[in-house]
Structure 1
């Protein structure tokens, strides 16, 4: 039985992948309950769960806490050199963006944030926490940290839309040079709760540090993307 398990996992993965590829399990469509799938494939819940986890790692399916498994929608293309923002990127690909504002406040900056924004010790920063959706699906948890000296009164404004557009309209600030750092990670408590997934789920962590048109460090974003929701693209032209 132990020797048969790997073959069973491979067979289940192949069968479900084919169903997704041919549209029988449409993007965003809910898979049958694990119990039902175990009966369909005549296997144990342990073997089935291993197959589902492998498909999740491949980005073909995803899981939501207390809701079950779903076929993953197409990934959104994220061009790091495009100098665009979430709403424009998603809308430009025929998808619907939306944002949940989780919190916004002035708080002491951690040593890490002080380093990113080149702030002195014991500085304050504006922290804005948001969860972002594509076609209603939670895909991104982000913490924005702003230098408060450059954005007076920002906590009184509508922070559920594009910060890029808000900066330009209210402060005449436009993005200039941008620095990105990326690494795969496992979601910790706060990000996992915001995205309604299990703690430890795979994710792509992007740290974005932004300067304005005058070269000033203005803010940084700590982004946590569901790993199956994003396709990072960079094209360098001589």
Structure 2
């Protein structure tokens, strides 16, 4: 099948270092001409490469070679900035909205709240090396964190919890699923609707075992690799 051969050819160029991370591929028309194929066949090859995390698309800008993904270890209690810097990446967090609202169905389910309970909702975008890679929505209980909206959310919420409210995580429950980026999330991550995403739900418990907040992270699937090590008692 020709689209598989095209895909394999581009993979070979990536692995040989001929195509570098974040390098822009030629326009689809030129790529199709260079492989002597149709744009329909070329797009099948590009879709395979995207599914494998080899390339990513930016809306109205074209296709790019994916950088190395961030290694995300759920067993480590470190924030995004610390995790990124430890891997020689440059992190940045952009605050989109921070408001007091009524709990929707998702927030109520994750935090065990009654429908329409008061809650804080904070939306942020995470960047790696100036590339937007994750859209994060956090739901937070205002009874545990009064006046939380007065603080700076451009870095770590967990640091704010610890330093200003003396709340530390005792445990975090994770759920990881696949999805797609749609609407405002796709727009914030400079991609097109329908782009594959990895979704990480985190429910956070304080030192008393109470559910205090939850975070839903929508990651570009090529930007993250879930890795962990399990150690067993002898």
Indicate the TM-score class for this superposition, using the shorter chain for normalisation.
Answer: over 0.9
Q: Which residue of 1 aligns with 2:57?
A: 63
- The answer for the alignment partner of 1:174 in structure 2 is 168
Name the structure 2 match of 1:15: 9
Q: Distance in 2 between matches of 1:127 and 1:18?
A: 44
Q: TM-score, normalised on structure 2?
A: 0.96
Q: Could you tell which deviates more after superposition, 90-99 or 118-127?
A: 118-127
Q: Secondary structure at the match of 2:201?
A: strand
Map of 1:52-91 to 2, 5 A cutoff? 52-91=46-85
What are the within-5 Å matches in structure 2 for residues 61-140 of structure 1?
61-140=55-134
One of 214, 225, 228 as aligned partner of 1:231: 225
Aligned length: 232
* Residue 194 of structure 1: aligned partner: 188
Alignment of 1:123-162 (within 5 A): 123-162=117-156
What is the CA–CA distance in structure 1 between the aligned matches of 2:115 and 2:27, rounded to whole Å? 52
Which structure 2 segments of 5+ residues have no match?
Answer: none
5 Å matches for 1:16-55?
Answer: 16-55=10-49
CA–CA distance in structure 2, aligned partners of residues 122 and 38 of structure 1: 53
Per-residue deviation, residues 126-174 of structure 1 (Å, max 9, x unmatched): 0000110111111101100000111111112111111111111111111
1 CA distance for matches of 2:116 and 2:26? 52
CA–CA separation in structure 2 for the residues paired with 1:140 and 1:103: 15
Matching residue of 2:158: 164
Q: CA deviation at 1:22?
A: 1.3
TM (norm. structure 1) is: 0.94
* CA distance in structure 2 between the aligned counterparts of 1:31 and 1:111, rounded to whole angstroms: 42
Take 1:82 and 1:217, find their aligned partners in 2: how far apart are those partners? 19
Helix, strand or coil at the partner of 1:120: coil
Cα shift at 1:235: 2.1
